[in-house]
């Protein structure tokens, strides 16, 4: 086995976001960050950058500060009869998940895969639970919530994260364009005059924002569903791809075992909708592109009521390995081959049989051997797919 390859483990490595002010290009901003955090703690207003647009921020626990910020909205009628619900800008997903009691596996995955980032998550809660959450956060109704949903953003910007961490409490922010300050992608040239005129205590200037477009709102329903609101930076297709789980089956030539496993998995998933959107694929460590599944494999699947059509073999590649969240190898040697091709993918590999035993190659064998292999694969694939959702449902 190659170093790092463990047939009993799998996972996805998510690199941590570097929020240190020692990051090149940000060390000079430490004073501005500290000033903004102090302004928010003391009831003042601050302008901070995010990856999307600049935002005007205040402490949501300070009702006077919230009202002062909303009174500056342009045009003023947008402030009546109720102020717009602002998004809670939190420094980390962990803080939000704990505060809002996010438990549904799909919602947890959305937080894991999309935050920090340019998404506004609108988490629906039962009325009584929502009241308890707001009370615990020390925020009045209508500030971070609308229609029994808490609105939250977790910015993917080092300076924003630093300000939010240092400020503590619950910080809300609205795009500065709502206050007549341009399109929000960059600060107005007369920012010092704006500060004096609007009573803004601090500004963190980081030049034009990286994305310059509004965040994408996503409703997270009580039943564990989600809905992407059109008009944001990313559409539903992008969101689905980000949260989709990709399962890759690997054998030698990608004409027998791994395509059989792929077809069986697709059949199982169609009949038992998984909690997490899941896509399956297969490849071979020594495969030639474009070959069909063997006749015996097709017949074995058809006898089981599984559709084998459409398969064409493909060789294993770094792109496939990087895309996959979990990789099921037919044998330990296949797992080793994965580790050799892409050492960074080694921690995603499991031998399909949880006992660590190889799935015997039926190539060149009788039809009965293929039938036996198909039955073994069905049992193993069903178990492994149950395990994936089981891991997600563990507390």
pLDDT at position 79 over 90: no
Which is catalytic among the residues 257, 266, 298, 378? 257
DSSP state string for 233-254: SS-HHHHHHHH-EEEEEEESSS
What pTM was computed for the model?
0.85
Which one of the listed residues 6, 205, 358, 361 is annotated catalytic?
Answer: 361
> Is 93 annotated as catalytic?
no
Average pLDDT, rounded, for the chain: 91
Is-contact 262 278, C-beta < 8 A?
A: no
User: Does residue 368 have an active-site annotation?
Assistant: no
Query: Coil, strand, or helix at residue 355?
Result: coil
The whole-angstrom separation of Cα 146 and Cα 120 is 13
User: For 240-274, how does the pLDDT look when each residue is reduced to its tens digit (9 = 90+)?
Assistant: 999 999 999 999 999 999 999 999 999 999 999 89
361 catalytic? Reply is yes
Cα–Cα separations (whole angstroms), residue 255 to 203, 208, 284, 357, 380: 61, 52, 8, 20, 18
Of the candidate ranges 20-24, 292-296, 311-315, 319-323, the one whose mean pLDDT is the lowest: 20-24
pLDDT tens digits, one per residue of 37-76: 999 999 999 999 999 999 999 999 999 999 999 999 987 6
Please report the pLDDT score of residue 273 as a whole number: 87
**Any idea what DSSP says for residue 8?**
B
Q: Name the active-site residue from 93, 120, 175, 251.
A: 251
């Amino acid at each position: 086995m190659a170093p790092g390859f463990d047939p009993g483990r799998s996972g996805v490595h998510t690199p941590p976001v570097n929020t240190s002010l020692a990051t090149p290009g940000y060390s000079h901003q430490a004073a501005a960050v500290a000033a903004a955090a102090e302004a928010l703690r003391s009831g003042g207003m601050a302008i901070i950058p995010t990856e999307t647009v600049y935002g005007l921020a205040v402490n949501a626990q300070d009702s006077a500060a919230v009202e002062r910020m909303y009174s500056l909205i342009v045009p003023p009628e947008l402030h009546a009869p109720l102020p717009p619900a602002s998004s809670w800008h939190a420094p980390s997903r962990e803080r939000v998940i704990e505060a809002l009691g996010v438990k549904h596996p799909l919602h947890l995955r959305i937080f894991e895969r999309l935050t920090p980032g340019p998404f506004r998550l609108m988490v629906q809660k039962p009325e009584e639970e929502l009241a308890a959450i707001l009370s615990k956060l020390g925020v009045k109704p209508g500030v971070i919530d609308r229609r029994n949903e808490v609105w939250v953003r977790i910015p993917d910007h080092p300076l924003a994260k630093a300000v939010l961490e240092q400020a503590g409490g619950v910080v809300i922010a609205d795009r500065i364009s709502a206050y007549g300050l341009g399109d929000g992608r960059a600060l107005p040239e007369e920012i010092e005059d704006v500060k004096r005129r609007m009573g803004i205590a601090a500004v963190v200037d980081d030049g034009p924002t990286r994305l310059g477009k509004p965040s994408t709102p996503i409703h997270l329903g009580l039943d564990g569903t989600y809905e992407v609101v059109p008009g944001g930076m990313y559409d539903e297709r992008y969101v689905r791809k980000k949260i989709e789980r990709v399962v890759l089956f690997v054998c030698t030539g990608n004409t027998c075992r791994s395509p059989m496993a792929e077809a069986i998995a697709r059949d199982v998933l169609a009949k038992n909708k998984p909690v997490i959107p899941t896509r399956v694929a297969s490849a071979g460590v020594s495969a030639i592109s474009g070959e069909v599944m063997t006749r015996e494999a097709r017949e074995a699947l058809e006898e089981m009521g599984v559709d084998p059509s459409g398969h064409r073999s493909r060789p294993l590649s770094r792109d496939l390995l990087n895309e996959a969240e979990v990789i099921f190898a037919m044998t330990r040697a296949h797992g080793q081959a994965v580790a050799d091709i892409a050492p960074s993918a080694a921690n995603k590999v499991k031998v399909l049989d949880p006992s660590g035993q190889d799935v015997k190659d039926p190539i060149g064998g009788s039809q009965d051997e293929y039938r036996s292999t198909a039955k073994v694969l069905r049992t193993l694939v069903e178990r492994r797919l149950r395990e994936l959702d089981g891991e997600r449902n563990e507390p």
